[in-house]
Structures are given as structure tokens and as C-alpha cells.
Amino acid sequence: MKKRQLALSLGAIVGGTFLYQASAEASASTVQVKAGDTLWSLSTKYHTTVDALKSVNKLSSNTIHIGQTLSIPSASTSQPSNKEEKPSAPATGSTYKVQSGDTLWKVATRFNMSVEELKRLNALSSNIIYINQTLKVNGSNSAPTPTTSKPAETPSKDANGTYKVQRGDSLSKIASTFHISVSELKQINGLTSNTIYVNQQLKISKSSQTTTPTTTTTTTSTSTPSTSNGKLNVSQMISDAKRYIGVPYKWGGTTPSGFDCSGFIYYVTKQQISTTRYTTAGYWSVSTPVSNPQPGDLVFFNTYSSGPTHMGIYLGNRQFIHAGSSTGVTIASLDNSYWSKRYLGAKRFSK
């Protein structure tokens, strides 16, 4: 009799365990909002987008409240993992299959490319990619498998101030290594595009040529103004900003691993001057209003509460570059229906 009771008890425990697991699996497609949660943090945690969350839950704004139950889009019902996925090797020597959590910027970094090169090679018109999408990663069939376990050996310039281009190099990578901007590197070497080739000799410092002035603030450019915006050189500011197109959004982020809107401005400006880490409202307060924005000026928007809550750098021709919560660093238009309704004005930052 005791054996039978023990067997029944064990059966109940095992059955309860299976029921619990089944219940947990059934509830994996919903989540209950906790203190500190935002649509963006939940979209990141469950590998989806803010727009997808809003769509599946029929939300008309980004506002959510504690205790609210949200449905997770079906493509992301699996439980999130804190373990970083190791990128798989390309299917061939020149392609790569997109993994969960990938962005164009991450893929470009793994293969020593710029985001612009990756988009051009794959004929992409936006920064959106999807899991299992196959991307071309370079023009060769013998590309090495990317690795993040061992840092690349730091290249060096020779006694004449020149550098020989290595396999996998790009202008942005070389410029970053030698602490100059892409526009400076192109001007020093008389380049009209971002194309370079293996074994090409590049001048790294202006002292290695005799025809270019040594004053960095007088650099000329046919595409952006060469004058200085207060203490900031506008050409360098815009060139530096464009280097990070595709970098993902990160709340409070101030490094190329992730930016928020004001953190992006802070990082770009501190490449030239010593400056304070302001919030968007802080930049608005310390900057000077301008009625007709020029390249390098800051543009401000009201996105979710009263006053300035978002910002970017004006590029000219009604275009601006910014770190958007759903796009990462990207270029947008002031005439876009979303931004035009929220535009507050432009100001000039010179501190």
C-alpha cells in the first residue's frame, strides 16, 4: 500500500513538472511589464523591434505601464539569452548569414568593412537586415573567418609617414588607427572615393607631403563647409559622424558600441574639443539659436515629452544625422513626416 502511494506521489510530481514546463512554454510569447521596462529595452531583450511590439499589441504610443501584459512577436518567442552568439563562418569565402542580434555595423566591423561598403555591395537602401539573410561581405572568395578572440595587430607607418594597405583595410579603419578623420586621409592622398587596394601606399600625416597646408582647420572640401563652427571644424565633425552610421542605439551610450542621441553628439564633438556630456535638454540650453541652420549646427525635436527630447547634426540640404532608438546612427530628412511635425529648431554649439 505504501509503495502504491509513493508511486502515485511521484507521478503527481512528475506530471506537475511537465504541466509547469508546458505552461512556461505557452507563456513564452507574452511578458509582464516590470519597473524600468521600455518598449525599446523589451524589443532588444526579445530580439525584435519597437514597431513590431507596438503593432502586435495595437499600441498607438511608446507608453507602457507596470503590470501590463505584452505579446512578443512570434519570430521572437524564445526566451532571451545573455550569452553572446558566436558569428558563424560565411557560407562561402564572400558571404555571411545574419545571426540573431546582428546589425549592419556589427557585420561590417567583423569583416573590416564600412557600413557604406556593406550596403553598396548588397544593394541595401536601409540599415534593416533579418536573421538568416545572406550578405556579401567582400569582393573576394577567400575571406578569412571573422574572429573576436584576438585583437588585430596594430599597423604602423614607416619613417616617411606612409602606410601600406593590408588585406581587409578600409579608409575608416586606417583613419581610426592613426587618429585622423576619413576626410583628412582622403585629402592628404588626393582620393575622390573610399576605394583603396592592397599594397597601396597612403600618406598618413600632412607632414609627409609638401603641397598641403599643415593647419587642420583650413582643410578644404567640395562637399561640406571648411569653416570652423566656433571651436569645431565642421568638415571633420560631419566626417567623424558619418563614420558611425549603422552603430546601434543604446540608452545612455557614448561609445561606438552604442549611442543615444546626445551621447552621439558628445562622442563626435569630443574628437576635437574637451567638452561636457550634456543631455539633449542641456545642449539646447547652452547652444545659440540660429534661424537658418548650417552644416554642423544641432537640430532639436520633441518626441515624447515637453521640450527638446531628441537631437542630431545638420548636414545641409534638409538632411541630418542622428542616433535613433529604432534605427541606430542614420541620416534622415527634416521633411520626413515624422520629424517635420516634431522639429523645434536649430542651435549652434561651440563649447
pTM beyond cutoff 0.75 = no
Q: How far apart are CA 171 and CA 88, in angstroms?
A: 26
Closest CA to 172 of 184, 162, 160: 184
Q: 3-state class of 98 per DSSP? A: coil
Nine-digit cell at 192? Answer: 575622390
Q: How far apart are CA 208 and CA 214, in angstroms?
A: 10
Nine-digit cell at 218? Answer: 583650413
More confident site: 74 or 171 = 171
Q: How far apart are CA 206 and CA 212, in angstroms?
A: 7
Q: How far apart are CA 73 and CA 49, in angstroms?
A: 9
Q: How far apart are CA 322 and CA 349, in angstroms?
A: 15
More confident site: 128 or 77 = 128
The residues, ordered by sequence, that sit 6+ positions from 331 with a Cβ below 8 Å of its Cβ are 242, 245, 315, 319, 320, 321
pLDDT tier at 15, thresholds 50, 70, 90: very low
Based on the residue annotation, tell me whether 65 is a catalytic residue of this protein: no
Residue 196 confidence (pLDDT) above 90:
no
Please give the share of the chain, as a percent, with pLDDT higher than 70.
72
**Which of 3-17, 64-78, 178-192 tops mean pLDDT?**
178-192
Residue 231 confidence (pLDDT) above 90:
no
> Read out DSSP for 116-169?
HHHHHHTT-SSS---TT-EEE--S-TTPPPP-SSSPPPPP---TTSEEE--TT-
Based on the residue annotation, tell me whether 47 is a catalytic residue of this protein: no
The residues, ordered by sequence, that sit 6+ positions from 295 with a Cβ below 8 Å of its Cβ are 224, 225, 234, 238, 314, 315, 316
Q: How far apart are CA 288 and CA 294, in angstroms?
A: 13
Task: Give the active site residue among 47, 65, 179, 310.
Answer: 310
Name the residue type at position 198. V
Based on the residue annotation, tell me whether 310 is a catalytic residue of this protein: yes
pLDDT per residue over 105-121, tens digit each? 888 778 877 788 888 88
Q: By mean pLDDT, which of 152-156, 185-189, 211-215, 296-300 is the weakest?
A: 211-215
pLDDT per residue over 170-186, tens digit each? 887 887 788 777 778 88
pLDDT at 211: 35
